[in-house]
Structure 1
Amino acid sequence: MGNSRVLFIVFGILFSVMSAFTIFVGIMAKSAPAPMAYMTLAMAVMSFCLAYLYPQFKQKDERMRLIRQKGMFASFVAMMIYLIILNIGIQLDFFILTANELIQILTVLMISTLFISFVVYSKIY
């Protein structure tokens, strides 16, 4: 049990360092960070959340089913809100994104929202 939790923490630290380095390089080059930085940041969030949730997810009880169900619903609602905001923003030219950037942003938001909602609901229930 402890080894898996430590492994998630190590992965979280590794992804955080990779993301921080990529963002730092982008700032030093006076440009936007590489899109990879956002994905590695989402993977760091996922790893830290899984490290926190591992002992609870290991148990396949009713509480964990409820947390997963509520987390998925909250993520779905958040994703609909993200899509509406991005759609309005692109329609009104608040921001201009390529399809690749848009997909990466949505992926990062989806991953982060899902796992953070799991942590929030695990604290509530």
Structure 2
Amino acid sequence: MYSRIAYLIVGIMFIFMSGIEIMSSMMVKEMPPSQSYIFFALAIMGFCLSYLFPQFKQNDERTKLIRQKGMYISYFAILIYCLILSFLIESGFLDLSAMQVLDIIVSLMIITVFLSWVVLSKIY
């Protein structure tokens, strides 16, 4: 059912949607809507899954190790993201709503997990 091409098409579709939202917000000199960050993260997820599909299709010990170590690394990265965001918000450098903060954290989580899997697949 699933294939590299399907994941690649999903990635291209989400990068296109994110690009449209970012470009339109730049034209009116506004900040991009926070859901454009999630679309960008989903595009990265699509591209990463397109790259990882042949390796993860086998579902052997190596892929389980990559997934396990990737989630372990991502856990600590997410803790660091939350610490940095809370410091920036508390010190007044960023003025974000709760929804914007959640969208940023979710986007960073998606990007971190899937990029760590790509890096770990190169290592193992």
Taking structure 2 as the reference length, what is the TM-score of the superposition? 0.96
SS of match in other structure, 2:3: helix
Taking structure 1 as the reference length, what is the TM-score of the superposition? 0.95
Tell me which amino acid in the other structure corresponds to 1:92.
S
Structure 1 segments of 4 or more deviating over 4 A?
A: none
Residue in structure 1 matched with residue 43 of structure 2 by the alignment: 44
Name the CA distance, whole Å, in 1 between partners of 2:60 and 2:85.
37
Tell me which amino acid in the other structure corresponds to 2:84.
I
How far did 1:89 drift? 1.0
Q: Are 1:32 and 2:31 counterparts? A: yes
Q: Are 1:10 and 2:5 counterparts? A: no
Query: Over aligned residue pairs, what C-alpha RMSD do you find?
Result: 1.1
Name the CA distance, whole Å, in 1 between partners of 2:36 and 2:83.
24
Name the CA distance, whole Å, in 2 between partners of 1:87 and 1:32.
20
Alignment deviations for residues 12-40 of structure 1 (CA, whole Å, 9 cap, x no partner)? 11111111111000000100011221111
For structure 1, the residue ranges without an aligned partner over 5 or more in a row are none
Name the CA distance, whole Å, in 2 between partners of 1:117 and 1:56.
15
Tell me which amino acid in the other structure corresponds to 1:22.
E
For structure 2, the residue ranges without an aligned partner over 5 or more in a row are none
Query: How many residues are matched?
Result: 124
SS of match in other structure, 1:37: helix
Name the CA distance, whole Å, in 2 between partners of 1:87 and 1:11.
32
